[in-house]
Amino acid sequence: MTIVTTIVVLALVYASFAISASAGLGGSLLMVPTLALFLGSKEGVALAALLLASNNVMKIIAYRKTLPFRKAAFIIVMIVVGAAVGSTLLVEAPEWAVTVGIVVMFIASLAAERMDLERLQTGFAPLLAFASGASSGFSGTSGPLKGVAIRNLDLDRRHFVGAASLASFAGDATKTAIFADAELLGRNSVLIAIAAVPLMALGTWTGSTINRRAGEQTFAVLFWTVMAGYTVRLFVLLLD
């Protein structure tokens, strides 16, 4: 990648960290298409898992006073099992199938956001957690599924982000181990990962500050505008 391209990628990676730290979820929805466009779908998903797992360590530290270990334990276990299944499927799947999975999850996430499906209390938290991990393992993002599962725990805002951070770390760490064993990460991925380390702390601080002080309406508009553009671009790449 050129210097300009690398700067653009790192800027969007930073934005992903900030989104994730402010809402507890959603960072992968920006990071995965960004990395998939520049590195390819499989390597992009693999690098996103590594970066998000590392960033979740920062989030766990930031939200260390509001980590609901007991309430979230079963959700976390189901996400890990699902992530192992999904990421194993990704390793064996053709590149085009992974790209289709990414696009489908982004469209589903946008539809869920528009219809406010995240606020539904379904009572099927364990099943949703497994599906969340499996879809995240294959496409790089779980869309609204993880949010719905964690909402069933009936947590306040800070504890919700704490639970999401624990669950995301467990799932991303599982995926990273499987992807590393399959040797999906190339030289460019390693260099981006190293360059992104200081951005994790900065993005976590930014997101945590937003979580405490501001609403998310403007942030959501910007986020989904970027997402719509990337989804169109992924469609174009799929048709090439």
pLDDT in tens, 144-189: 677 778 877 878 878 888 898 899 899 999 999 999 888 888 888 8
- For 216, residues 6+ apart whose C-beta sits below 8 A from its C-beta are 22, 23, 210
Q: Which long-range contacts (CB under 8 A, 24 or more apart) does 193-196 make?
A: 193/47, 193/50, 193/51, 193/54, 195/6, 195/10, 196/10, 196/13, 196/14, 196/51
CA distances from 206 to 113, 186, 201 (A): 23, 29, 9
- Whether this prediction's pTM lies above 0.85 is answered by no
DSSP state of 124: -
Residues of the chain with pLDDT under 50: 118-119
Whether the CB-CB separation of 207 and 17 falls below 8 Å is answered with: yes
Q: What is the pLDDT of residue 32?
A: 85
Q: What is the pLDDT of residue 215?
A: 55
- Say whether 195 sits in a helix, a strand or coil: helix
Q: What is the pLDDT of residue 31?
A: 86
Q: What is the pLDDT of residue 198?
A: 92
Torsion, Cα of 214, 217, 221, 227 (10° steps): 70
CA distances from 34 to 10, 82, 122, 134, 147 (A): 10, 24, 32, 21, 22
